[in-house]
Amino acid sequence: MDINQRNNIHIIGKPDAAATLIFGHGFGLDQTTFRQVIPAFENNYKIVLYDNVGGGKSDIAAFSFNRYATTEGYVKDLADIVHGLDLKNVTYIGHSVSGMIGLMTSLQYQGIFDKLIMIGSSPRYENDPVNGYVGGFDKTALSDLYESMETNYYAWTSGFSMAVMNQPERPDLAQDFARSLQQIRADIAVSVARSIFQMDIRRLLPQVKIPVLILETAEDIAVPSVVSQYMEANIPGSKRYKVNTTGHFPHISAPGEVIAGIKTFL
């Protein structure tokens, strides 16, 4: 399959740049979510944008409930993109689940990335009381989430968007996210959500061998601050950068601060 069609790939910025930035979007979004961040890097980097299969303008025919039952399918897709485009000197910037997809890709395909930047990412969303891990959700909360999605997906998108955006003074941001969610087929959204919220890759964190930046916000119900602290403590040599905004989408609510954090790390 043509990866350009499958993932709706766009290459912008400086075509002959020595280094490449790949931006990977989170659940319910597409590549346009980085539109306020990208201009700051266009003059110095080759920039690769893509949509995860099942969302955005990716090829819906490429979606398989079997391939994407776990995040492994997206790891393979990302490796396909890097190898297929013959990209070198790559820094991967992943929001939410795509941050973890980037981490997994860096381990399964050694040398594929030079650096990794994770924005609001988590290795496990469910609490693990036995081991003292706080992920932000207990089993009941996740069961209720799946039930709400399956019962009335379009009603669920409205409440979920407001909660995770957490920008009460800017309701338009939550409305935009709700519209983005509603463009995804409900059965696909439920399946992908389950693969994300049931993920547990904590064991992989100590294995990371490339420089990692962890971008953290305040009052993110999807990724509490303790999760970012946990990652910093468990990823060797990683750095944590606090973005002065609330909610799960700092690249949307505070793009200037995200740009500053990325530039400092690069």
Identify each DSSP E strand in the chain by its residue range.
10-13, 20-24, 46-49, 90-95, 115-119, 212-218, 239-246
96 annotated active-site:
yes
Which listed residue (220, 238, 251, 253) is catalytic?
220
248 annotated active-site:
yes
Over the range 32-47, which residues count as b (16 or more CB within 10 Å of their CB) and which as e?
ebbebbbebbeeebbb
Using CA atoms, how far apart are residues 142 and 193, in angstroms rounded to an integer? 10
Using CA atoms, how far apart are residues 214 and 198, in angstroms rounded to an integer? 21
Which listed residue (95, 248, 251, 253) is catalytic?
248
Six-digit token pair at 189? 């959204």
- Axis-axis angle for helices 153-165, 139-151 (nearest 10): 130
220 annotated active-site:
yes
Which listed residue (58, 77, 95, 96) is catalytic?
96
Which of 172, 173, 137 lies closest to 248, judged by CA?
173
Give the catalytic positions in this structure: 96, 220, 248
